[in-house]
Amino acid sequence: MSDHVEKKDSPSAKGVSLKSMVTAAIWIGALSITKALWSMVSEKAFGLTMNEILLSGVMIAAIFSPVYLSIVLDKIKDIKIG
């Protein structure tokens, strides 16, 4: 029997931050297009204002932005020191 233990790859902070920003952009885009097309199909209001759509997308990205900001600040620190 082999004593080899496989290590699970944990997600990197940069990857998670990038995925959250892409998700937020898709979220805002999809809901904005849906809201625009909704008026052509239905007489009822869509239910979300553009402010609510934008705020929800920004909040998705903002949850992970401190992680991304720390990566950027570390690179700036390395540039100043190096």
Q: Is residue 47 part of a domain?
A: yes
Q: Which of 53, 17, 55 is closest to 38 using CA atoms?
A: 53
In a domain, 75, yes or no: yes
CA 32 to chain centre: 16
Looking up tokens 């990205």 gives 61
Burial category of 57 from C-beta neighbours within 10 Å (exposed 0-12, middle 13-18, buried 19 and up): buried
pLDDT exceeds 80 at position 2: no
Structure tokens at 71: 């990566």
Domain count, the chain: 1
In a domain, 7, yes or no: no
Would residue 4 count as lying in a domain? no
- Residue 5: inside a domain: no
Residue range of the domain that includes 74: 14-81
More confident residue, 71 or 77: 77
Inside any domain, residue 71: yes
In-domain check, residue 38: yes
Instruction: Tell me the C-alpha distance between 19 and 53, whole Å.
Output: 18
The answer to whether position 2 is within a domain reads: no
Mean per-residue pLDDT of the chain = 81
> What's the average model confidence in pLDDT over 46-70?
84
